[in-house]
Amino acid sequence: MKPLIHSIQSPFHIHPGGHRKENQHISETSFSKHLQQSIEDTGQLKVSKHARIRMKQRNIDISDATWDQIERKLYEAKSKGIQEPLVILKNAAMVVSAKNNTVITMMERNETAGKIFNNIDGTILLD
């Protein structure tokens, strides 16, 4: 007569926690992704190193009130599906990544005459 109780050992070779590193990596990646998204969702506009250099070279000064206005309009543009708008101010023009909330490049307004801007999908005009 055969016993009715079967062994709990599996015929397959299983390592306890064999996928732990993989799951841990997925978890850390997921956390990093959520953290970055949370930072981006604050609406805080960042200025890339390239744009900061351009601002300094061209003596472009933008008030805090104007930065706030740009952030509000960028949020509005993002809600309409715009990813990389050209922002035109009285004294400057800039290309912004709405996806990353980052000013990519900047120039004085008088430099924009005759220029062609590529890789933009919208325009924000501010006084």
Query: Minimal CA–CA distance to 95: which of 77, 21, 30, 42?
Result: 77
- Whether the pLDDT of residue 65 is over 70: the answer is yes
The whole-number pLDDT of residue 84 equals: 97
The whole-number pLDDT of residue 13 equals: 47
In what order do the strands lie in the sheet containing 85-88?
46-47, 102-108, 92-97, 85-88, 122-125
Interval 2-47: pLDDT, tens: 555 545 554 444 445 554 444 555 555 676 666 556 555 556 899 9
